[in-house]
Amino acid sequence: MSSSSAAAGQAAGALKGIRVIDVSRVLGGPLAGQILADHGADVIKVEPPQGDETREWGPPFQGDASAYFLNVNRNKRALSLDLSRQEGREVLLRLLETADVLIENFKPGTMEKWGLSYEQLAERFPRLVYASVTGFGKDGPFGGYPGYDLMAQAWTGLVSINGSKESGPLRVGVPIIDMMTGANAVIGISMSLFERERSGKGQHVDLTLYDTGVSLLHPHAPNWFMSGKVPGLTGNDHPSISPYSLFETKGAPMLVTVGNDRQYEKFCTVIGAPELATDPRFRSNAARVENRAVLAEAIQARLKEFDGEELAHKLMDVGVGGGPVQSVDRVLTHPHTLHRKMVVQLGEYRSTGIPVKLSRTPGNVYAAPPEYNQHASEILAEVRFTPSDIEALEQSGVVRKARKRHGD
């Protein structure tokens, strides 16, 4: 991606003029950087000599990068930099002279050791918004421990409520804590940039996988606070609403999502079971939750007569929620997915689209994820490195033209 193509892609974005230095790897930090880039920020992805490890998290691969890497690194420019060396840190400091935001997810203590913590940089760069993503934070009983999405799901209780008696505890099928931490990072960065307009000062945005996981315990945390009852595996049942669960049909299984008494009456009419609407055991949501097993058995007997997808449409037509269990391929080719522009393609690159749609300053996918160190000369020239300076950095290995491989 050239400077001109980047400028064209960023022209209408809400974050036009914001420069982000993204030294993070894997998922939470890179996803935050991608969201900012989608909305016009100039995001420079700084990778270590071996590259972001997710480049190798496959198959499948496209060229030298995995699908995993490609899905969270579009619209960025790439530079390799060995931050373990003083020369590399000096390059980063020069990049920060023109930056608004720094995103990092090193193990706690690493940036301090390198002289690059927020506290160490705040005086030199008072307007810098500095976002740190860690597993558990730098202090407290778990302070300094490394963190990954799956272990965070276990420690924060998500695995304890996900699954059924038959399956046992299950992880959530997507890296939900990593992804939500990335979204929280964008929220924190955006709020800090907004506040900076008043104060003129940046600040530290502290994000942990642990905090994000705990924040996702809705409604289980408030239920426990109020009742003292420890939730167990919920399967497909909602702990506070009924019917709100999975049912088999003669076609695809479907989720029924009845949110109130009026919807329940409509639901009973659509499935041809008006007697379930007048049964005193099911007249209110509280009664239905209390008698959910009996109600589920009655509904299941009726739903075997229906095709799940057809029934879901009939329910939605009258304002009742329902959805067939769709496979990923069907979702990504569904007419509504395409209508909402939730699949994007640039040449061979295909990915999911931009979920936050702004009316005046829409996001834009204008560049495929970068190759390793693709924009080194361009980026370094922008911060006053001469061609001979750049050549010296490359010859010394501070900036690498190709990824360092195991055994190099």
Which residues are tagged catalytic?
A: 178
Phi first, then psi: give them for residue 35, nearest 5 degrees.
Answer: -60, -45
Helix ranges restricted to H, 340-375: none
Residue 19 makes CB contacts below 8 A (sequence gap 6+) with 41, 42, 43, 44, 98, 99, 100, 101
* Residues 82, 398 contacting (CB under 8 angstroms): yes
CA distance 366 to 85: 33
Cα torsion at 18, 19, 24, 26 (round to 10°)?
60
Query: How many other C-beta atoms lie within 10 A of the C-beta of residue 297?
Result: 9
Residue 370 makes CB contacts below 8 A (sequence gap 6+) with 1, 45, 73, 76, 77, 78
Residue type, 119: E
